[in-house]
Structure 1
Amino acid sequence: MSAPLILCIEDEPSLRDDIAAELGEAGYEVIQAADARDALERLDDRRPDLILCDIVMPGMDGRALLAHLRSARPELNGIPFVFLTALSSREQMIEGRRAGADDYLTKPIDYDLLRAMIAARLDQVARLRSAGGREAETDALDRLTVGVVLLDVEGGVCHANRAAIELARDAGITLEPRLTGKGEGGRKLAGLLARILSGSESGAALWLDDGSRRVMVLGRPLGTGPTRDGTAAMLTLSDPDRHEALDPVALRQLFDLTPTEADVARLVAEGLRRDQVAARLGVSTNTVAFHLRNIFDKTGTRRQADLVALILSMPMAWSDP
């Protein structure tokens, strides 16, 4: 079994070396990064089991790096992120928690506490992964841009993914405890549910249109009876005018992109200009242009508009649920 891998991001070389030495003696493998840009490059090649990050750094600080990873690299969200800081005030700790940090360690570093904290965090991640099951399945549904609603035999909502919750809210659909609508759309929805739950039809469809937004609803029963978890039918909700960019992990797998290339492609699909992409990623515009040339080659597109159209045609959300 390989040693857990820790990424240590600290701009002070002597402290970074001391942390690496202490953790190495404790049986961990350590990757060192001097700043956020260095860390992002290292994350392109390796996936650590835990990240230690200084807050105050030149360029992109620790909070900005964490925000970037949470939005641009959702596949890393399960990795514990721990801030290292000389600022130990209550306000600083609250701000760090709000930024999404999993833990806090103040300087000067108590290495016994550091080792204990890392061991506890890695143990927590291992227990959560072993508990996986249904949570992993619903997390996968939450990455779809298409709304998915799972129903029991009585029409109660077993699960609604994130896209379904957003679309239902906009279309005036109530999801809890049962799926219902308002006015004529609500009556049509009730009829669709009755047909698919009774098994009289293998599928049914309708448009809900309140004048400001159209939502397509497709429904079908799941087999001849409820599944083991009680699910009997599924609805999908979609808006033809709604587009979201693809999950960067799927982008990488489909087109053999590097993590940075996937980030560039996603940000371009969001509508950012090249200089804005460069600022977001902390690189030069020439670097963005270099990555775009590689992306065009790998995706078989010739223009930025073609690339955006390709990405937006795919049904996986890039943002973290």
Structure 2
Amino acid sequence: MTSPFPGLNPGDPGYWEVIFDVIPFPVYVADSVTHDIICTNRAMRQKVGVVQGRKCYEAIYQQTQPCRFCRMPEMMAQSVETSLEFEHFNDRDDRWYQLRETMLTWFDGRRAKYSIAVDISALKGFQNALAEAHAELALKHRDLEKAVTQARDAERAKSEFLAVMSHEIRTPMNSILGMVHLLMDRPLAAEDREKLAVVHDSGAALLGIINDILDFSRLEADGVQFENTPFHLGNTVEGVVSLLRGRASEKGLTLALDAPTPLPGWVSGDGSRLRQVLINLIGNAVKFTTQGGIVLRLSRAAEGDGYEFSVIDTGIGLDSAQAESLFQPFHQADASISRRFGGSGLGLAICKKLVAAQGGEIGVDSTRGLGSRFWFRLNYPAAAAPAAEPPRADAPALPALSILLAEDNVFNQKVAAGLLNREGHRVVVACNGQEALDKLQGENFDLVLMDMQMPEMDGPEAARRIRAMPGPVAGIPIIALTANAMADDIARCRAAGMDGHVAKPIDPRLLRATIAEVLIRQALPGEDGERGGHSLTRMAEQLGNENAAILARTFMDSGEDICGRLEGAGGDLRIVGAAIHELKGLAAYSGTPWLENLAVSIGKAMQDGDTDQMEQLIHRLRRDWDDTRADLARQFGL
């Protein structure tokens, strides 16, 4: 081989150094057995500072003995390249290199490693920056998780606070309003009755503020469910205006309805929530208007199923700054508003959440001193009018019942006992859950009214103990009578085995209706809850045979009407949806789970678009309903 370099031969190590020196990357050759560096190029000597004669594991890897990289030739197949990375430190800079190694035979016959080092410091810098960014992102993620946890804890703390405050405020309010109810039922002088009416109205106003706070809390937690059933839009708005016209007249104001003629008819949506928003807005207009009047204007959108509702007043009005923040919770136009007119500042925030949750929008147009126009828009698709319901018998009066009242508060004991005694019931008082258990073991009762928070043993625990008692007493109806009015509290009552819930302050009509509902629901199902075992014996015992027969007839008429509407729907999903909604309510109220299960199945088939399955289930409903109706007819001679 002729050498291109004068004075150097291929067998001379210097020959290869000259050749390697033209390579811009650091290069070295090392003996694969002794690990001695045989040859280096200029780039290796200048950039890395590695010279021949040293061990490669010392010069390259800063190790005191052969490392896994030095043993690599033993693990490599012949002429296979292997990529390695190492970090080299010197006085000038810290650099990262990637080695590309391959095996070769040196000029003297030795097996050697031929290594080219590529500077990858820029790549490493990018990787480090990426790692730092990832670490920072992970830190932010942890901070976000911590913030979410703190927010959940804060929401839970707020809910717990609201529950406690609701209980603490409702407990004395129950005594106040309950005693007022009892006093107003007695013969009174006109002046005394007027004073009691002031006390009652003030207590009711305070209770309204409490309910606003609870409503807002439920809306924030997405705890409000919206119905989608047929309701008469025209009748709804007319009813709201009629309801509030008396309040407006008391202030010398007019309240008028401006709506198309004829009024809109049947639509699909949540009529009760529309009513709630309208009552709030018109009530505010009456409150803040001292002369002139209020108009509720109903107009149809140019396209689609939209309606616009406007409440226009000649009241105090707002400037632009006040209007911008008016729908925020606990906010009123200025501090003087709450002093002059009262209120919690939650009503408009509740309206906004109710409208937004139904896909609508709400706003206000106002000028200071010239009145306001509060408006909102919602979509209400047209719906078929439900079939006329058969005339229903009046709800039967309750017979005299023997009631165990578990209540620790002395004033609330007197209020509840007074209201129940007035209805002709016999009341025995227990001051805590344990005392209630003792009295149930020694005496027969028709019903238990159970407070939630009591010393020694609270209401839910007492209910669980009652349900575990041997014999018929385990099935005694239990109604929670409590100042805890949050959704979680109601769920706790149900989970403990209670059959109903009445919030304090006690509304005598609601208490009476709840007792009747629970007794009826307990009486209709059979012992095993299956079809064919639904004896009405217990209901007849509680309400009397005549009243039980009235309820059975009403149940039969309602069920027959629902089945007829389903069979005549002709595939109209709006009619089917409305009918099964009523069927589920009727079945749950009457304690006929086989009908409720069928209603759920029909609803699922409708949602899935399986019309064949829906029709088959409606035919099955007819068979099951006929059997149920025949059983009731035989039992009551109907």
Q: Return the TM-score normalized by structure 2.
A: 0.20
Hey, which of these two has a bigger chunk of helix by percent? 2
**Rg larger for:** 2
Q: Return the TM-score normalized by structure 1.
A: 0.39
Give the structure, 1 or 2, with the largest relative contact order (CA under 8 Å, sep 6 or more).
1
